[in-house]
């Protein structure tokens, strides 16, 4: 099987490698630290569905997978976003570790950051603003890094990661810049980036490579993201969204923001983004009745594992990788 860093490896060779065993031990401790942190903060862990009539449409060129569900055309989940919002009718603060399937474009193989199958730590908070979600995301990542430096320093060293350098990444508050500022910085170094679109993968890696600590990018332009991202009422055309970027070239760890919860605005945004509201009937029926205002985020488990363990590509951060375009077990 050929993987993202162009190093051929068979499934047997990968799963039996010492580096995989060490990575899985670190990942086990990572997930334990995530659950401990969020549970202590009053979050309830939920089990999200794997299939449904619709899923997240805002997935940068990836394709959804259809399945036959008793004669109905259902989708494998690309994200838990719609179900996260609805779950807040039961619990005010929720999280899950949910599987996602996205048939990524073949050009993502060279990014070292994309899998067709991955897990995501999804968090959602009723009544929260973007700043609240960013605070939780920052505190969560910092807690996980500190716990792993304390709990599995030997495994990190064996993987070539210096625990002291990793701990230094989260010693100070994370940085923050606006989408507009990120575009200006990229253009200043002759990297073309549209002010109307998401920061592209190459640009994310450039910005990440220049950073000495994790940082947020905020205020993405309307139209660059899904219908569920809330537009800033005080600044039309600007979304109350964010990405969390790791330093040293590892790129995006998390994406999130405030959610649109007003039924009329959701329908309008669906139409603006080319979505057919009829497809989302169950979700809109709930939204018409009323869903809470909220903010949240999702962190890729494999991406976070890659950053913490210093792997060269994200496929090395899972036991059974599914690399875009390659048939694998």
For residue 191, what are the CA distances in angstroms to 178, 186, 206?
A: 17, 5, 9
How far apart CA 264 and CA 276 sit, in angstroms, is 14
Residue among 177, 170, 245 nearest 206 (CA): 245
pLDDT in tens, the chain (329 residues): 344 444 446 888 999 999 999 999 999 999 999 999 999 999 999 999 999 999 988 666 789 999 999 999 999 999 999 999 999 999 999 999 999 999 988 878 778 888 999 999 999 999 999 999 999 999 999 999 999 999 999 999 999 999 999 999 999 999 999 999 999 999 999 999 999 999 988 899 999 999 999 999 999 999 899 899 999 999 999 999 999 999 999 999 999 999 999 999 999 999 998 899 999 999 999 999 999 999 999 999 999 999 999 999 999 999 999 998 888 88
Residue 274's contacts (CB-CB under 8 Å, 6 or more residues apart) are none
Domains defined for the chain, CATH in brackets: 11-317 (3.30.930.10)
| pLDDT score of 9 | 66
User: Distance between CA atoms of 114 and 322, rounded to whole angstroms?
Assistant: 9
Query: Which value, to the nearest 10 degrees, does the dihedral of the CA atoms of residues 34, 324, 215, 19 take?
Result: 60
- For residue 296, how many C-alpha atoms fall within 13 Å in the half-sphere facing its CB? 34
d(CA 56, CA 117): 15
Give the list of residues 6+ apart from residue 234 with CB closer than 8 angstroms, or none. Answer: none
What is the rounded distance in angstroms from the CA atom of residue 229 to the CA atom of residue 225?
7
Q: Strand 241-246 vs strand 215-218: parallel, antiparallel, or unpaired?
A: antiparallel
DSSP state string for 33-48? HHHHHHHHTT-EE---
**Of 75, 109, 37, 56, which Cα lies nearest the Cα of 255?**
56
DSSP-derived letter for residue 2 is B
Distance in angstroms (rounded) separating the CA atoms of residues 188 and 196: 17
Note the pLDDT of residue 3.
45
**The pLDDT of residue 96:** 98
What the block records as the tokens of 174 is 């994370």
Q: At what angle do helices 18-40 and 301-309 cross, to 10 degrees?
A: 120
**pLDDT score, position 59:** 63
* Helix residue spans in the chain (DSSP H): 11-16, 18-40, 81-87, 130-151, 153-158, 163-169, 179-188, 201-210, 263-272, 281-289, 301-309
Closest C-alpha to 136, from 31, 205, 64, 216:
216
């Amino acid at each position: 099987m050929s993987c993202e860093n162009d190093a051929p490896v068979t499934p047997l060779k990968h799963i039996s490698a010492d580096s995989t065993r060490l990575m899985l031990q670190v990942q086990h401790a990572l997930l334990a630290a995530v659950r401990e942190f969020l549970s202590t903060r009053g979050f309830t862990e939920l089990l999200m569905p794997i299939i449904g009539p619709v899923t997240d449409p805002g997935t940068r060129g990836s394709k959804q997978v259809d399945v036959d569900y008793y004669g109905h055309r259902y989708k494998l989940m690309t994200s838990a976003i719609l179900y996260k919002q609805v779950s807040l009718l039961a619990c005010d603060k929720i999280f899950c570790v949910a599987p996602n399937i996205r048939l990524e474009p073949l050009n993502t193989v060279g990014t070292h950051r994309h899998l067709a199958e991955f897990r995501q730590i999804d968090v959602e908070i009723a009544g929260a603003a973007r700043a609240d979600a960013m605070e939780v995301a920052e505190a969560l990542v910092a807690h996980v890094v500190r716990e792993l430096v304390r709990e599995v320093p030997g495994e990190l060293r064996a993987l070539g990661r210096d625990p002291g350098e990793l701990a230094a990444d989260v010693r100070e508050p994370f940085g923050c810049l606006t989408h507009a500022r990120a575009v200006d910085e990229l253009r200043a170094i002759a990297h073309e980036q549209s002010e109307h679109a998401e920061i592209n993968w190459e640009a994310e890696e450039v910005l990440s490579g220049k950073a000495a600590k994790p940082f947020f990018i905020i205020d993405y332009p309307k139209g660059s993201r899904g219908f569920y991202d809330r537009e800033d009422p005080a600044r039309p055309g600007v979304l109350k969204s964010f990405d969390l970027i790791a330093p040293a070239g590892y790129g995006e760890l998390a994406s999130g923001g405030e959610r649109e919860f007003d039924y009329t605005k959701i329908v309008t945004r669906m139409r603006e983004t080319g979505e057919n509201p009829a497809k989302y009937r169950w979700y809109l029926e709930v939204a018409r009745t009323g869903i809470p205002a909220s903010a949240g985020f999702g962190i890729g488990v494999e991406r976070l594992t890659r950053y913490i363990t210093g792997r060269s590509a994200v496929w090395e951060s899972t036991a059974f990788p599914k690399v875009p375009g390659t048939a694998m077990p």
